[in-house]
């Protein structure tokens, strides 16, 4: 099971290699494969009770190492190679903001909350890079968007953990599967993507961000009401 998780590192390496060759579709495909591995390894590990059978091995640490490579380093490198960032020092400063903010996000002890949310923007830079690549925005605008997400890593908003957040879990997974099918098609046709399908798939990202904020507000209100009720009891 741990070998399956570690295999994501190979896809991250291949994503970087393909990006260096300007084979950006192949690079995104490797990132997509890494995402599939990441989305499935935790579920499989819990069902197989890997932690009980191999207690001396920290699977969560391995997962974070692989995720930092595939979700942060590989897409940041692709955006540099694809000239999606401004030229010169400022472009590298934006890339540094991605790398450093996510290093903080991965190392914070409360990055995943007890009620199964991510705290702060969960470093989905592979998705950010994919949509910026499809939208073909100006590098300066890309930089503004990327810096905004880098700042959101430090803002303690709870984001949906798709496979584990209980509220709206069935809806989130159903929409996520539909989104994954659309992404697979878009990757196959990335040289000339269907813009309607790009925006249709992007609606799931909108759902994810909006519902994360809504559920964050709802859980914060519920916690506040519970504390008020305790004081009044």
How far does the chain reach from its first CA to its final CA, in angstroms? 48
The total number of structural domains that make up the chain? 1
Q: According to the model, what pLDDT value does residue 40 have?
A: 83
E strand or H helix that includes residue 150: helix 139-152
Nearest alpha carbon to residue 79 among 120, 137, 122, 35: 137
Identify the band that residue 223 occupies on the pLDDT scale cut at 50, 70 and 90.
Answer: confident
E strand or H helix that includes residue 230: helix 195-232
Which residues contact residue 62 at a Cβ distance below 8 angstroms, ignoring those fewer than 6 apart? 2, 5, 6
- pLDDT score of 233 more than 70: no
Tokens 């207690």 correspond to: 55
- Residue 8's SS3 state is helix
Cβ contact 82:130 at 8 Å: no
Q: What is the mean pLDDT of the chain?
A: 92
**Is the torsion defined by CA of 137, 143, 148, 154 positive or negative?**
positive
Q: According to the model, what pLDDT value does residue 50 have?
A: 67
Tokens 């260096």 correspond to: 20
Cβ contact 87:44 at 8 Å: no
Each residue's pLDDT tens digit, 103-155: 999 999 999 999 999 999 999 999 999 999 999 999 999 999 999 999 999 99
- CATH code assigned at 47: 1.20.120
**Is the torsion defined by CA of 64, 66, 197, 84 positive or negative?**
positive
In Å, what is the CA distance from 228 to each residue of 115, 219, 220, 232?
Answer: 20, 14, 12, 6
Q: According to the model, what pLDDT value does residue 1 have?
A: 66
Domain range for 107: 2-232
Residue 8: count of CB within 10 angstroms of its CB = 26
Each residue's pLDDT tens digit, 155-185: 999 999 998 899 999 999 999 999 999 999 9
Q: According to the model, what pLDDT value does residue 44 have?
A: 75
E strand or H helix that includes residue 106: helix 88-107
Identify the band that residue 21 occupies on the pLDDT scale cut at 50, 70 and 90.
Answer: very high
CA–CA gap between residue 10 and residue 38 (Å, rounded) = 13
């Amino acid at each position: 099971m741990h070998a399956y998780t570690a295999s994501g590192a190979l896809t991250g390496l291949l994503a970087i290699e393909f990006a260096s060759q300007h084979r950006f579709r192949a690079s995104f495909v490797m990132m997509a494969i890494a995402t599939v591995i990441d989305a499935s390894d935790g579920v499989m590990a819990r069902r197989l009770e890997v932690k009980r059978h191999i207690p001396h091995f920290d699977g969560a640490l391995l997962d974070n190492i692989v995720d930092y490579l595939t979700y942060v380093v590989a897409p940041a490198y692709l955006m540099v190679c694809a000239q999606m960032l401004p030229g010169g020092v400022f472009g590298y400063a934006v890339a540094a903001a991605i790398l450093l903010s996510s290093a903080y996000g991965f190392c914070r002890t409360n990055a995943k909350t007890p009620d199964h949310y991510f705290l702060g923007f969960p470093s989905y830079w592979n998705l950010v890079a994919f949509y910026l690549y499809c939208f073909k925005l100006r590098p300066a605008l890309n930089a503004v968007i990327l810096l905004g997400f880098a700042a959101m890593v430090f803002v303690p908003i709870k984001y949906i953990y798709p496979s584990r957040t209980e509220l709206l879990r069935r809806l989130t997974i159903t929409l996520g599967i539909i989104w994954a099918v659309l992404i697979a098609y878009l990757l196959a046709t990335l040289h000339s993507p269907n813009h309607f399908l790009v925006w249709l798939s992007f609606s799931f990202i909108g759902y994810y961000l909006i519902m994360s904020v809504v559920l964050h507000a709802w859980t914060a209100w519920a916690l506040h009401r519970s504390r008020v009720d305790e004081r009044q009891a």
